[in-house]
Amino acid sequence: MLYIYPLVVFFLSLVCAQTSSAPACSTTIKPKNATPSVASGWEARVVATGLTKPRGIIFDSSGHLLVVQQGKGIGSLSLTDNGGACVIAGQPMDVILDSTLNHGIELSSDGKTLYASSTEAVYSWSYDPTSSKNTSIPRQLIGGMNTSDHTTRTLLLSRKAEGMLMVSRGSTSNLDPLAEDITSGHSQIKAFNITNATSLYDYDTDGLLLGWGLRNSVGIAEEPITGGIYSVENSVDEMVRDGQNIHQDNPGEEMNFHGYLNGTKYAKQGGNYGYPSCFAAWDVGAIPSNAGLEVGTQFAIGDQNATINDTFCKNDCAAPRLTFQAHMAPLDMKFNDNGTAAWITFHGSWDRTDPIGYKLSVVEFANGSPVEPANSSTAAIDIVSNPDLSKCPDGCFRPVGLVWDSKGRLFMSSDATGEIYVVVRPDGSSANSASPSSGLPPTGTASAARASGTKPSEAPRQVRNSWALLVAFVAVSIFM
């Protein structure tokens, strides 16, 4: 019988290897606030701290992490990489000192031109990724955007249409009447061909219109397989309908579709998405005169009249492809490389009695579109979140920017805490290749369990199989 003990030890080592977490990092940075809650099968660690309101982030071709520090400029972080989540950033090196830069950042496909935005304008600089330094004075590409309230100008270069730079511009107030005028340039997403631009573009009058009536669509992303353009929308605050305040859970935040830049035709490209008159329903039961409404249905704000009413909103305004809980404030969206998942940062609410958001979530995609129907209320699966929302906003991390590195790890900025996080799979597999149908875990919610195809209480299948194999082996050995 003694011969079985070495084999038992061998099988136990296999089981332990499969159930153990990733090895501890030799050096770690403690989060400024409580350690985030992370879904099973994932790990999140702080990479950098002490930054000045980090917003947009991007990697250059040499592996430097470029960070927009709101009100300061752009810094460069060199990373000490010990594998997995064991990544530590050095002190930021100043690339551009400009206090007007506040959010948007991009790099050209060859990595040698850096783009960034202020409230008023979009600029470019020649950039050397080896030294991580700009090598020219700024050149203004787009101007005419100097409006108040929503002041970030998100930038996204199309990977399907070379030289097309998308720029999102929000409203000048909670309810901006100028956004009703398509010529105002307010609350719009446009694309500009910057390949051989010889003169300054004016945002109001130039560019290709991808959508208007978009209150503050901070996050923009291009689906990598089909080239479809999506945005995530921060909807209106303090909403009133038929004299009743319904702002706690209405309207919903939105994910909108805007067509393509790669030549694929989309008849509704450049359409009206409703703001400042029409919004997406979330908690239908709280909306007065709610006949015919469901999650995601466009409905009219205030008192309906002959011009602005639910029929107009439904028939004349583009409805969101997905709708999320009100006031979660989505600020960025990044697809994985195979187009099966869209990752979204939810910065978190202020206009709600009970805080909501303050998390990183993921939405399943297939064939260029979300898997969930437009009336779904369970499309977003939480991966990294704050453990106690009652501490928010002051005692919470607040996600903003996202970027993938070359190893398939997801990096995330938190402006309120001055931190950068890295999100990984502890088993060493690429987070970039994970999707809700091929490995994203349950998060303890019904929606996550549905999307992942498992119950929240289930152990990983390979662990159960290993234990079953061990028990069977020992049982057989005993009776031999």
Provide DSSP, 12-80.
HHHHHHHHS-PPPPSS----SSSPPEE-TT-EEEEEE-S-SSEEEEEE-TTS-EEEEETTTEEEEE-EE
Residue 152, SS3 per DSSP: coil
Structure-token match 């500009």, residue found: 192
List b or e across 409-425, with b for residues whose CB sees 16 or more CB atoms inside 10 angstroms.
bbbbbbbbbbbbbbbbb
The alpha helices in 230-375, defined as continuous H runs, are 310-316
Rounded to 5, what percent of the chain is helix, strand, coil? 15, 35, 55
Q: Which two tokens stand for residue 210?
A: 């991808």
Q: What is the mean pLDDT of residues 266-280?
A: 97
Judged against a pLDDT cut of 70, whether residue 104 lies above it is answered with: yes
Confidence at residue 412, expressed as pLDDT on a 0 to 100 scale: 99
Distance CA 287, CA 270 (A): 29
Q: Which two tokens stand for residue 255?
A: 């994910």
The pLDDT-based confidence of 210 (bands split at 50, 70, 90) is very high
Confidence at residue 147, expressed as pLDDT on a 0 to 100 scale: 86
Judged against a pLDDT cut of 80, whether residue 480 lies above it is answered with: no
The CB-based long-range contact list for 7-15 (8 Å cut-off, 24+ gap) reads: 7/473, 7/477, 8/470, 8/473, 8/474, 8/477, 11/466, 11/469, 11/470, 11/473, 12/470, 14/466, 15/463, 15/466, 15/467, 15/470
Confidence at residue 451, expressed as pLDDT on a 0 to 100 scale: 35
Confidence at residue 425, expressed as pLDDT on a 0 to 100 scale: 94
Distance CA 137, CA 135 (A): 7
- Non-local CB neighbours of 181 within 8 Å, separated by 6+ positions: none
Taking the C-alpha atoms of 38, 40, 43 and 49 in order, what is their torsion angle to the nearest 10 degrees? Answer: 0
Judged against a pLDDT cut of 90, whether residue 362 lies above it is answered with: yes
Structure-token match 């005169």, residue found: 289
Distances (CA, A) of 23 to 90, 383, 422: 22, 20, 16
In what helix (H) or strand (E) does residue 450 lie, and over which residues does it extend?
A: helix 446-452
The pLDDT-based confidence of 215 (bands split at 50, 70, 90) is very high
The pLDDT-based confidence of 475 (bands split at 50, 70, 90) is very low
Residue 193, SS3 per DSSP: strand
Q: Where are the beta strands (DSSP E) in 347-398?
A: 359-366, 369-370, 380-385
Residue 242, SS3 per DSSP: coil
Q: What percent of the chain has pLDDT over 70?
A: 86
- What is the CA angle 242-273-152, rounded to 5? 105
Taking the C-alpha atoms of 447, 448, 453 and 454 in order, what is their torsion angle to the nearest 10 degrees? Answer: -110
In what helix (H) or strand (E) does residue 141 lie, and over which residues does it extend?
A: strand 139-143
Confidence at residue 93, expressed as pLDDT on a 0 to 100 scale: 98
Residues 69-79 pLDDT 10s: 999 999 999 99
Residues 130-168 pLDDT 10s: 999 999 999 999 999 988 899 999 999 999 999 999 999
Beta carbons of 371 and 440 less than 8 angstroms apart: no
Judged against a pLDDT cut of 80, whether residue 439 lies above it is answered with: no
Give Cα 461 to chain centroid, integer Å. 29
Judged against a pLDDT cut of 90, whether residue 320 lies above it is answered with: yes
Judged against a pLDDT cut of 90, whether residue 452 lies above it is answered with: no
Distance CA 23, CA 42 (A): 13
The pLDDT-based confidence of 428 (bands split at 50, 70, 90) is confident
Q: What is the longest distance spanned by two Cα atoms in the chain? A: 89
Q: What is the mean pLDDT of residues 176-196?
A: 96
pTM of the model: 0.88
Q: Which two tokens stand for residue 234?
A: 């921060």
- Non-local CB neighbours of 94 within 8 Å, separated by 6+ positions: 73, 74, 75, 76
Taking the C-alpha atoms of 35, 37, 43 and 48 in order, what is their torsion angle to the nearest 10 degrees? Answer: -40
Distance CA 404, CA 412 (A): 9
Residue 278: exposure state from Cβ atoms within 10 A (0-12, 13-18, ≥19): buried
pLDDT mean across residues, the chain:
89
Taking the C-alpha atoms of 258, 260, 263 and 267 in order, what is their torsion angle to the nearest 10 degrees? Answer: -30
